[in-house]
Amino acid sequence: MNIRKTINKLQSALIAKGYIYKINTYQFYRDQQNRMITGYRITEKRQYRKKNGEMSVKDVELLNSCSQVEVLKVVCGEMGEKEE
pLDDT at 83: 64
pLDDT at 12: 93
Domain range summary for the chain, segments of one domain joined by +: 21-68
| Helices and strands (H and E) in the chain: how many | 2, 3
Q: What is the pLDDT of residues 2-25, one digit of tens each?
A: 999 999 999 999 999 988 999 999
What's the CA dihedral at 16, 83, 79, 50 to 10 degrees?
A: 80
Output Rg (C-alpha) for the chain, integer angstroms. 15
**Close Cβ partners of 62 (under 8 Å, ≥ 6 residues apart):** 21, 42, 43, 44, 74, 78
pTM: 0.79
Q: What is the pLDDT of residues 23-76, one digit of tens each?
A: 999 999 999 999 999 999 999 999 999 999 999 999 999 999 999 999 999 998
Strand partners of residue 24: 41
